[in-house]
């Protein structure tokens, strides 16, 4: 207790000396006694006390309330007011300065002691809280990801520089706004709004993330792909007081993934074109039919060896209709060749149609390309174990708008 220094500001000298004696008897140190507001500010600067006992009514131009405000602003020293007045107007002015207590004259030693101890404890706790808030703010400011925090109602309370840069909103513009007004997100594929992270966290009460293909709409209307994690901010009673939102701009990652996907398609396309080249001898005019058939079968076998394992990768624990799975797979496979295909599977009318052909002109002069497509469709269809067969009912090389294959299923076959 002896380490606490208390500055006494009282314009009645007898009262001031009495307070000084009382404080010293309690074990406090009184570095100075002052009688005016101006002198109180000076002594606070010189002695750096732990607390100031400030009489509200002082002689001179600066009263105790004005002096307390300057001491708080310049030195962050807690103040406890001494006053013989308790009128509303005086208290209203005093409250603005954020005092740590009031003592109404005359007072007993125990009242004085209690007020000082409470004020010192309160100041210590507030100082620790401010230090923690500063540490947290510094941490969030320097973190490499974008960070936004909100209160329990979803109103923004903080944005770090990365979040400001990505959203194009400055923190002073965003503070107090609902999160969804600043953090606008949509689904990349549908363009529909994505549910607010605040709503999801408040409903689940736990950490949540947004799905892939999420786009952030910036203040200036730019669209940025992001991923995000939202976590509840809870107090010691496990009540949710807000959320912390951490997100990243994944533009570069998406570009890299797209480039990788393109490379894989080009690789697959190269493999298929390799198959095409290997099949060219089939159509040489000087090749005997039985040799031509053997070469065609060889190509078909090579196609199955290379591609059937990839088809079967998606079939374990299959929850969907096998024909649906097959048409999705073959459409994806054909897209690697630059062929856009669509499937119609309804009312037992099952078709696969090509809306374009990368080698349509070449196919008009050589049946090689159409033959290869037929081998691909007919051979891959056998992997489904569906009872039935496939027939080509139209061909672009023969003047049709589309190449159409019909899946003719046996009447007793049940799709699983």
Residue 137 has a pLDDT of 61
Residue 139 has a pLDDT of 58
Rounded Cα–Cα distance for residues 218 and 174 (Å):
12
Asked whether 97 and 70 are in contact (CB, 8 A), the reply is no
Instruction: Return all residues near 29 (Cβ < 8 A) that are at least 6 apart.
Output: 2, 3, 4, 5, 6
**Reduced 3-state DSSP string for the chain:** CCCCEEEEECCCHHHHHHHHHHHHHCCCECCCEECEHHHHHHHHHHHCCCEEEEECCCECCCCHHHHHHHHHHHHCCCEEEEECCCCHHHHHHHHHCCCCCEEECCCCHHHHHHHHHHHHHHHHHHHHHHHHHHHHHHHHHHCCCEEEEEECCCEEEEECHHHHHHHCCCHHHHCCCEHHHHCEEEECCCCCECCCHHHHHHHHCCCEECCCCEEEECCCCCEEEEEEEEEEEECCCCCEEEEEEEEEECHHHHHHHHHHHHHHHHHHHHHHHHHHHHHHHHHCCCCCHHHHHHHHHHHHHHHHHHHHHHHHCCCCCCCCCHHHHHHHHHHHHHHCCCCCEEEEEECCEEEEEECCCCCHHHHHHCCHHHHHHHHHHHHHHHHHCCCEEEEEEECHHHCCCCEEEEEEECCCCCCC
Q: Report yes or no on whether pTM surpasses 0.85.
A: no
Residue segments in the chain with a per-residue pLDDT below the cut of 50: 1
Write out pLDDT tens, residues 288-306.
666 667 766 777 887 888 7
Rounded Cα–Cα distance for residues 120 and 254 (Å):
55
Instruction: Return all residues near 77 (Cβ < 8 A) that are at least 6 apart.
Output: 44, 48, 49, 50, 51, 52, 71
Q: Which domains does the chain have, with CATH numbers?
A: 6-138 (3.40.50.2300), 143-249 (3.30.450.20), 254-409 (3.30.1380)
Residue 25 has a pLDDT of 92
* DSSP-assigned beta bridge partners for residue 242: 151, 233
Give the residue among 398, 394, 395, 340 at the shortest CA–CA distance from 364.
Answer: 398
**Conformation bin of residue 369: beta by default, left when phi > 0, alpha when psi is -120 to 50:** alpha
Write out pLDDT tens, residues 341-350.
888 887 677 8
Asked whether 407 and 352 are in contact (CB, 8 A), the reply is yes
Asked whether 275 and 268 are in contact (CB, 8 A), the reply is no
Residue 152 has a pLDDT of 87
């Amino acid at each position: 207790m002896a380490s606490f220094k208390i500055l006494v500001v009282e314009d009645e000298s007898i009262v001031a000396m009495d307070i000084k004696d009382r404080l010293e008897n309690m074990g406090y140190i009184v570095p100075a006694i002052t009688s005016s507001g101006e002198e109180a500010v000076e002594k606070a600067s010189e002695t750096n006390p732990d607390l100031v006992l400030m009489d509200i009514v002082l002689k001179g131009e600066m009263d105790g309330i004005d002096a307390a405000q300057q001491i708080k602003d310049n030195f962050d020293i807690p103040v406890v007011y001494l006053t013989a007045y308790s009128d509303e107007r005086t208290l209203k002015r005093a409250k603005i300065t954020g005092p740590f207590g009031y003592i109404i004259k005359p007072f007993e030693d125990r009242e004085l002691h209690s007020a000082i101890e409470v004020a010192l404890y309160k100041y210590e706790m507030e100082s620790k809280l401010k230090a923690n808030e500063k540490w947290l703010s510094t941490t969030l400011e320097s973190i490499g990801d974008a960070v936004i925090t909100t209160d329990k109602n979803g109103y923004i309370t903080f944005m770090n520089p990365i979040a400001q840069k990505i959203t194009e909103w400055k923190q002073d513009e965003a503070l107090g706004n609902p999160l969804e007004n600043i953090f606008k997100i949509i689904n990349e594929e549908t363009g529909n709004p994505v549910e607010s992270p605040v709503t999801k966290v408040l409903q689940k009460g736990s950490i949540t993330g947004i799905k892939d293909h999420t786009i952030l709409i910036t203040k200036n209307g730019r669209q940025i792909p992001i991923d995000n994690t939202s976590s509840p901010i809870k107090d010691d009673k496990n009540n949710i007081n807000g959320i912390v939102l951490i997100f990243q701009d994944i533009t570069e990652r998406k570009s890299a993934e797209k480039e990788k996907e393109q490379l894989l398609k080009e690789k697959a396309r190269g493999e298929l074109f390799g198959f095409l080249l290997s099949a060219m001898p089939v159509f040489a005019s000087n090749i005997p039919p039985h040799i031509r058939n053997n070469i065609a079968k060889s190509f078909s076998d090579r196609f199955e060896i290379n591609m059937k394992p990839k088809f079967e990768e998606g079939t374990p624990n299959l929850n969907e209709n096998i024909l649906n799975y097959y048409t999705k797979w073959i459409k994806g496979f054909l897209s690697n060749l630059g062929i856009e295909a669509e499937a119609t599977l309804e009312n037992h009318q099952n078709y696969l149609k090509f809306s374009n052909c990368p080698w349509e002109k070449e196919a008009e002069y050589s049946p090689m390309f159409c033959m290869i497509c037929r081998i691909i469709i007919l051979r891959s269809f056998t992997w489904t174990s569906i009872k039935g067969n496939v027939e080509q009912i139209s061909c672009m090389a023969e003047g049709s708008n589309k190449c159409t294959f019909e899946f003719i299923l046996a009447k007793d076959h049940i799709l699983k």
